[in-house]
Structure 1
Amino acid sequence: MISRSKVLAALAMAVAAMFTALPAANATHAGQPTVQELMYRCTSADYCQFKPYGAMEIFSGSRQLAGSGTNCTSGLMTRVINYSATTGTKNTFGVEISGSVELGEIFTASIKVSYSREWSFSETKTDEVRQEIAPRKKVNIYASKQKSRVNGTWEIHFGSRYYGHYYWYVNGSVEGQTKGQAWDIRSEQVNAVC
């Protein structure tokens, strides 16, 4: 008769062997291209299109300091403050998508067809504001831009297998602005360092 301790030892060894033979849950497949590799190959593929899905999301962009003016006198002062702010485009694909590259042209055409809007990769707002500044105060001018976010899939077709497949799909989002979206300009008075 086999002893209980030998059975338990054999069972423990079998369980340990089973778990060491399984791949780690977070291991990646060595034969898969990265998102960046797929995106770099997109424009040289047989087919490369961006297909948006869902509604275009509209939201307020982050506030940025665009200009300031200081009054270090003991009386009220009116100043003309020049300000400038620039906003751009970012994406989750890890490659440049702008008006100067072919991916940008493909993206822009897709937005025009899908949403009847014209994408703007970068916009700058430059202006001036006449502002009353209290004694020993500083006025900061902040600008924020109404922004747009588009979720979608890059669909890529290759004439011959690329990493074992003819068709690849890359999901993600692009955040920027369409032409005509508003700027929000605000001023804030704080204590000056005089």
Structure 2
Amino acid sequence: MITRTRLTVLLAAMATAGGMALAPAAQADEEPPTIRELLDKCDNGTDSCVFHPEGPGTDSMGEAHQVGDSAYNCTPDLQRSSISWADTTGESNSVGVSLSAEYGFAEVFKVSIETSYGHTWESSHTETDTTNVDVRPGEVGWVTRESQMQRVKGTYELHFPDRFHGHYIWYAPFDATGPKPDAPSTKTQHTRPMTEQEKAEHCG
């Protein structure tokens, strides 16, 4: 759950009969809006909503995890097993919602990423393959996969036609991690001796 935090606020200038003057600060809300509440207003009650990326994206490898079934060799000979698998890599973000949904801030985010980095944002990517594993007698083999990921962080700038929780302008920090477009993943073959329980279950 997103905790309620006070965000950096910039008060908009407003015209008066005597010229330009800063709008007086409104009394602080006891319950200021959450980041999610602010972003729900993006293009849904705002004059403008813009995502400002903070520097280049950061690349990393996702967590290694098994894909496909395990291959048990109950024979006295070396066996080459073909393990077929399909694996989907999803996204995560600081708000905890899917950017594939039709949220105003999601569309603003995707357009900003494409404009700033020259590629689209992928909310999920599915890869399918068949990987060969050489399994020695009495052993079990399996395949793990690591996806290339990208992390982007920045700030949404929201302008409201009327005061929203006391202010015309709000800033909402946001970061997201998702599969890097068109980037190959890392597949690794593993083997180890079967346990006695595994031998009883698969070779009995």
Q: Same fold (TM over 0.5)?
A: yes
Structure holding more helix per residue = 1
8 A Cα contact 2:83 2:132, kept in partner: yes
Q: How many residues align?
A: 168
How far residue 99 of structure 1 moved from its aligned partner, in angstroms, is 5.3
Q: 1:94 to 1:132 in 2, by over 3 A?
A: closer
For 2:85, the aligned partner's letter is Y
How far residue 143 of structure 1 moved from its aligned partner, in angstroms, is 0.5
Query: Where has structure 1 moved over 3 Å in runs of 4 or more?
Result: 99-102
For 1:77, the aligned partner's letter is Q
Corresponding residue for residue 73 of structure 2: 71
For 2:159, the aligned partner's letter is H
Extract unaligned runs of 5+ from structure 1: 1-26
Corresponding residue for residue 19 of structure 2: none
Q: 1:31 to 1:99 in 2, by over 3 A?
A: closer
Corresponding residue for residue 174 of structure 2: 172
1:61 aligns with 2:62: yes
1:49 aligns with 2:47: no
Residues in 2 aligned to 1:165 and 1:102: alpha-carbon distance in whole angstroms: 20
Residues in 2 aligned to 1:129 and 1:94: alpha-carbon distance in whole angstroms: 33
Residues in 2 aligned to 1:151 and 1:38: alpha-carbon distance in whole angstroms: 17
CA offsets 1:40-90 (integer angstroms, 9 cap, x no match):
122302212211011110111111111222212222112211122211111
For 1:83, the aligned partner's letter is W
| Structure whose CA Rg is larger | 1
Q: Taking every aligned residue pair, what percent have the same amino acid on both sides?
A: 31
With 65-74 and 117-126 compared, the bigger mean Cα shift is at: 65-74
How far residue 113 of structure 1 moved from its aligned partner, in angstroms, is 0.7
Q: 1:164 to 1:101 in 2, by over 3 A?
A: closer
Q: 1:35 to 1:101 in 2, by over 3 A?
A: closer
Extract unaligned runs of 5+ from structure 2: 7-28, 200-204
If the length of structure 1 is used for normalisation, what is the TM-score? 0.80
